[in-house]
Structure 1
Amino acid sequence: MGDTRDDEAVVIGGGVIGLTTAVVLAERGTRVRLWSPQAPHETTSAVAGGLVWPYRIEPQEQALDWSVRSFRHFSWLAEQPGTTGVRLVRGSMPGGSPPPEWTALTGTPPRTPLVDMQTYLPYLVARFEAAGGRWEQRAARSLAEAAAEAPVVVNCAGLGARELVPDPSVRPVRGQVLVVEDPGVEEWYVVATGGASETTYILPQPYGVVLGGTAHDGAEDRRPDPATAEAIVRRCAAVDPRLADAKVLEHRVGLRPFRPRVRLEAGRLPDGRGGTALCVHNYGHGGAGVTVSWGCAVDAVRLVGPATGE
């Protein structure tokens, strides 16, 4: 057990929620250590198509607020010099009926941030480290382990919260996509299908076009299924025939960490020294982790309280 300081925090989880929360904490002056058993490119976030749009997340009203605030930060990132991985791209969503607040942001037809996660996650790591944060490849065996090393613990473990908290209400929603060579796609396309297990989306990224997808509730197999991939290509080629013969570059599978409601709240943990540590939970974002990341991060940091050491 190491010595602790009043201005230290441990963030658990190296996906987009954990990284974004760690950035916000570090940039306000907190000494942050981020624990993750996986490198950022190995997390579920790395599989995300990257369209900033509320999807499979509850509660919807709160999710819209988080999404709107995140949209504004992503739009700012799209205008920054250097490489953030964020672009503003036009697209279409047949059958979709977004709330007026979202339409006011995106316009008609919608123009929304599209995030290249292969570039964006390293950008977040670099921004975190530039603010003095320290990323550690380390699995938290328990919340108490982290509480013994810092007075503030922020739990952004995603699907890992099932065992870590433990929280049996967290469950996986399996998503499978594939990446193909870009035949000239300039706009994104998404069919809004609510809670359907099969969806159709086409997302042009710098490295190729992401074709999707699936949303299989409770499925945990991370191996790509060839039949599912073929069905995805058929659905997408019906929208853009150029995709039928596009060369397949990669198959991807990720497990979205769904919860009936996002858990964003604070509590206390024994610190192993006769006292307690503050624990802020920020997990269960389903398929909208990228979309709500900045709004949730700011709210999680507010629960931490005033910056210490100032």
Structure 2
Amino acid sequence: MRVRVVGAGVVGLTSALRLAEAGHQVDVVAAEVGTGTTSSVAAALWYPYRAYPEADVTRWSATTYQVLRGLTADPSAGVRMRLGQELFRQHTADPWWRDAVPELGRVAAGRLPAGYVDGYELSVPVVDMATHLPWLLGRLATAGVVVRIRHLEDLAEAFEDVDAVVNCTGLGSRELVHDASLTPVRGQVIVVAQFGLTEWLLDQTDPERLVYVVPRSDTVLLGGTAEEGDEDVNVRPATTEAILDRCSRLVPALDQARILRQRVGLRPARPTVRLETEFTDRGPVVHCYGHGGAGVTLSYGCAEDVAHLVSGLS
């Protein structure tokens, strides 16, 4: 089939890649590509954050975990397995997504930082999006998929010369398909130069003022915030100072870290991920959006379902 994917974040690009691999004739149109996408701001630590329903998210996350782990064999993909800890100030049961990972241990009491009484310890993929997004674009080019920058006022415009459309526009679906259930969740992060850190740390005690320190090859990403309904994409200096303070308490060496840049992204939160086929007057649309803070974590798993749905149309 001739298929057009709308959206060039990680969900759109992985969907386009899987569709091309399934033998479809694919192109991509998007208002933003690369650093202009929300995906480029992501910490991209594999973690099913603010995404539902639980059963589907666990399945999609498990698939993505396996795909990303496999990509660690290709240095150009920008994926590494990293050991890390999620820390808690009270005793906590295993996470609902436990079945998505092969192993999940507990942090020994003697290794917990002051003020924490429990913690998970696990190895997960960490994706350097500054490397992985260009890698995906390169894979698409090799597969003959053309990516064009184009702003659509209406999804119906995407149906020119194609049999089906795949809508991966994230928060843009609020306007593009009038989905009022989408809510922006503002995330501000800091990127610092790598200083020898190899393990990630996460603390979600305060759901709006998160603490995460995620090492990549040449940089470390510090976060963050989760401000629901806040659409301000400007960096706030006071928030920067607060993030540095919170993260430095967990990793004191950050006091000397060199700040490279600061970014803000709007997570596309929704009560549930929308992954389904809609039959419109112009033709079939497979919707795949509303991934909350887990776009990278769900991407390859959702792409498999997108390809399955599209192939079922022919």
Q: Same fold (TM over 0.5)?
A: yes
- 2:275 aligned to 264, 270, 273, which one? 264
**Structural mapping, 1:41-60, within 5 Å:** 41-60=35-54
Letter aligned with residue 31 of structure 1: Q
- 2:300 aligned to 294, 298, 301, which one? 294
Q: Are 1:226 and 2:242 an aligned pair?
A: no
Shift in Å, 1:207: 2.9
Counterpart CA distance in 2 for 1:255 and 1:226 is 18
Shift in Å, 1:107: 5.6
Counterpart CA distance in 2 for 1:243 and 1:183 is 8
- 2:184 aligned to 172, 175, 187, which one? 172
Mean Cα displacement is larger for which, 281-290 or 173-182? 173-182
Q: Are 1:88 and 2:81 an aligned pair?
A: yes
Structure 1 unpaired stretches of 5+? 1-6, 272-276
Per-residue CA deviations over 1:101-159 (Å, capped at 9, x if unaligned) read: 14534566311100000000011111111111110111122111112331110000101
Aligned equivalent of 1:284: 290
Shift in Å, 1:20: 0.5
Letter aligned with residue 185 of structure 2: V
**Share of identical aligned residues, percent?**
43
Contact 1:259–1:285 at 8 Å: present in 2 too?
Answer: yes
Contact 1:147–1:270 at 8 Å: present in 2 too?
Answer: no
Per-residue CA deviations over 1:229-276 (Å, capped at 9, x if unaligned) read: 1000001110111102312111010000111111000011222xxxxx
Aligned equivalent of 1:3: none
SS of structure 1 residue aligned to 2:272: strand
Counterpart CA distance in 1 for 2:165 and 2:104 is 35
Aligned equivalent of 1:66: 60
Counterpart CA distance in 2 for 1:103 and 1:84 is 21
Aligned equivalent of 1:154: 166
Letter aligned with residue 270 of structure 1: D
Shift in Å, 1:192: 3.3
Mean Cα displacement is larger for which, 153-162 or 128-137? 128-137
Letter aligned with residue 293 of structure 1: S
Per-residue CA deviations over 1:36-75 (Å, capped at 9, x if unaligned) read: 1112221000000110111011112211111001100000
Counterpart CA distance in 1 for 2:219 and 2:101 is 27
Q: Compute the TM-score of the two structures, normalised by the length of structure 1.
A: 0.91
Aligned equivalent of 2:309: 303
Aligned equivalent of 1:201: 212
SS of structure 2 residue aligned to 1:79: coil
Mean Cα displacement is larger for which, 138-147 or 99-108? 99-108
- In 2 relative to 1, CA 182–148 (structure 1 residues): closer, same or farther, beyond 3 Å? closer
Structure 2 unpaired stretches of 5+? 107-120
Aligned equivalent of 2:140: 128
SS of structure 2 residue aligned to 1:292: helix
Shift in Å, 1:187: 0.5
RMSD: 1.6
Counterpart CA distance in 2 for 1:244 and 1:19 is 37
Per-residue CA deviations over 1:14-48 (Å, capped at 9, x if unaligned) read: 10000010000011111111001112221000000
Aligned equivalent of 1:4: none
Q: Are 1:18 and 2:8 an aligned pair?
A: no
Counterpart CA distance in 2 for 1:183 and 1:23 is 35
Counterpart CA distance in 2 for 1:187 and 1:85 is 16
- In 2 relative to 1, CA 261–307 (structure 1 residues): closer, same or farther, beyond 3 Å? closer
- In 2 relative to 1, CA 105–12 (structure 1 residues): closer, same or farther, beyond 3 Å? farther
Per-residue CA deviations over 1:147-195 (Å, capped at 9, x if unaligned) read: 23311100001010011001111111000000112222110111134x7
SS of structure 2 residue aligned to 1:41: helix
- In 2 relative to 1, CA 251–283 (structure 1 residues): closer, same or farther, beyond 3 Å? same
Q: Compute the TM-score of the two structures, normalised by the length of structure 2.
A: 0.90
Q: Are 1:104 and 2:102 an aligned pair?
A: yes
SS of structure 2 residue aligned to 1:253: strand
Per-residue CA deviations over 1:82-109 (Å, capped at 9, x if unaligned) read: 4100001111111263343145345663
Aligned equivalent of 1:249: 260
Counterpart CA distance in 2 for 1:107 and 1:13 is 37
